[in-house]
């Protein structure tokens, strides 16, 4: 354990006590189920926890990572050498104000879609098929079925770790793009407000059922995966290009391109993060060699890798 980690641990324990964990396994926190440990892990239950985490990072220079459902993350086999934060139950809530729904950053996006259904509010049905928290969905501008968070978000409250304070960011200032935002890297989305519209409950439910069924039918839900691995290039689909290149079903170590959906990588017991990243690179090379298109990864790589997809 480095001096920086020891100092950060001491700062955190002074406020958070035994809730601070060291050498904490990251694989169970990600949907790929691979990756090494976090140097320090804390499930934050309040703004005070986030404030002390920010102070520990600022005083020691350690990097900070925020994990939600872990569905868009690949952690290296060496793990993460800094502080990993996960929002706890104190950040899992939802409230309605007319056509607006507000929710804590730890609220699962599918659950928020369910809240909207109960109130007869339409516009976020697509969220039922996205395995993300509200905070993660805002940060990556999550989307499905032709809709995305940027279309419904009014504002997000972000905790600026290095400043120790909350800032409200309206959607127009979030810098949204395809599966990305320009929110500060050293910040945590602690809550968000979406603006929806009135709808017929049976029609909202039908759209949600359709999205669930589509996901069940087309995605390898029974196997560990991280969701879509590559962004769709303009005017095309990554899955089609991967299939066309003959990479569907291709394997490296314990990682394979899904036979059910070519833009998904699934892992078997004993798989390593290095297997996944090598497979991503191999698929990129194969598709580019055939089509001239270099697929851009959608999954976020965390930690040090010997090979990095370009």
Residue spans per domain, the chain: 3-87, 93-217, 222-302
Return the exposure string of 217-231: e unless at least 16 CB atoms fall within 10 Å of the residue's CB, then b: eebeeebbbbbbbbb
Inter-residue contact 272 to 303 (CB < 8 Å): no
Mind listing the pLDDT tens digit for each residue in 37-73?
999 999 999 999 999 999 999 999 999 999 999 999 9
Mean pLDDT of 104-129: 97
Inter-residue contact 119 to 102 (CB < 8 Å): no
Reference 109, options 83, 139, 84; nearest CA is 139
Domain 3-87: give its CATH code: 3.30.43.10
Which band of pLDDT confidence, cut at 50, 70 and 90, is reported for residue 21?
A: very high
Q: Supply the DSSP string of 240-271, one letter for each residue.
A: HHHHHHT-TT-EETTEEE-SS-TT-EEE-TT-
Handedness of CA 16, 17, 19, 23 (dihedral sign): positive
Handedness of CA 176, 105, 69, 64 (dihedral sign): positive
CA distance 200 to 154: 22
Mind listing the pLDDT tens digit for each residue in 281-310?
999 999 999 999 999 999 999 999 987 776
Per DSSP (E only), the strands in 98-227 are: 100-104, 121-122, 143-144, 147-148, 153-160, 165-170, 187-195, 197-198
Q: Cα angle at 16 between 12 and 18, to 5 degrees?
A: 100
**Is residue 132 exposed (0-12), middle (13-18) or buried (19+ Cβ within 10 Å)?**
buried
CATH class of 93-217: alpha beta
**pLDDT (0 to 100) of residue 306:** 85
Inter-residue contact 138 to 149 (CB < 8 Å): yes
CA distance 209 to 234: 28
CA distance 262 to 272: 20
Q: What is the pTM of this model?
A: 0.93
- How many C-beta neighbours within 10 Å does residue 234 have? 7
Task: Tell me the β-bridge partners of 21.
Answer: 41
Return the exposure string of 100-130: e unless at least 16 CB atoms fall within 10 Å of the residue's CB, then b: ebbbbbbbbbbbbbbbbbebebbbbbbbbbb
Which band of pLDDT confidence, cut at 50, 70 and 90, is reported for residue 22?
A: very high
Residue 185 pLDDT > 90 = no
DSSP state of 224: -
User: Do the first three CATH levels of 3-87 and 222-302 match, i.e. the same topology?
Assistant: no
Pick the CATH number of 222-302 from 2.20.25.90, 3.10.310.40, 3.40.190.80, 3.90.78.10: 3.90.78.10
Inter-residue contact 88 to 105 (CB < 8 Å): no
Give me the percent of the chain exceeding a pLDDT of 70. 100
Would you name the residues annotated as active-site residues? Answer: 179, 228, 298
Pairing of β 121-122 and β 197-198: antiparallel
Measured CA distances, 20 to 14, 79, 105, 131 (Å): 10, 17, 20, 26
The mean predicted confidence, pLDDT, of the chain is: 96
């Amino acid at each position: 354990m480095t001096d920086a980690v020891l100092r950060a641990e001491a700062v955190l324990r002074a406020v958070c006590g035994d809730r601070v964990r060291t050498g904490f396994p990251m694989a169970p926190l990600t949907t790929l189920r691979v990756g090494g440990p976090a140097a320090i892990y804390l499930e934050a239950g309040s703004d005070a926890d986030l404030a002390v985490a920010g102070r520990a990072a600022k005083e020691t220079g350690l990097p900070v990572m925020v994990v939600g459902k872990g569905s868009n993350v690949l952690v290296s086999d060496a793990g993460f050498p800094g502080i990993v934060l996960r929002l706890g139950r104190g950040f899992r809530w939802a409230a309605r104000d007319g056509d607006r729904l507000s929710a804590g950053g730890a609220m699962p996006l599918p659950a928020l879609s369910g809240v909207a259904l109960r109130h007869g509010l339409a516009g976020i049905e697509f969220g039922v098929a996205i395995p993300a928290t509200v905070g993660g969905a805002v940060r990556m501008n999550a989307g499905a079925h032709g809709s995305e968070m940027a279309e419904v978000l009014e504002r997000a409250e972000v905790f600026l770790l290095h400043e120790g304070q909350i800032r409200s960011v309206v959607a127009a200032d979030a810098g949204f793009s395809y599966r990305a935002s320009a929110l500060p890297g050293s910040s945590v989305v602690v809550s968000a407000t979406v603006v929806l519209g009135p709808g017929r409950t049976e029609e909202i439910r039908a759209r949600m059922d359709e999205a669930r069924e589509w996901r069940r039918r087309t995605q390898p839900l029974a196997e560990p995966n991280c969701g879509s691995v590559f962004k769709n290039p303009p005017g095309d689909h990554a899955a089609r290009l991967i299939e066309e290149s003959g990479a569907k079903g291709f394997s490296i170590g314990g990682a394979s391109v899904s036979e059910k959906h070519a833009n998904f990588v699934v892992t078997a017991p004993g798989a390593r993060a290095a297997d996944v990243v090598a497979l991503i690179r191999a698929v990129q090379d194969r598709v580019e060699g055939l089509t001239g298109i270099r697929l851009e990864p959608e999954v976020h790589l965390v930690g040090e890798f010997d090979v990095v997809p370009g």
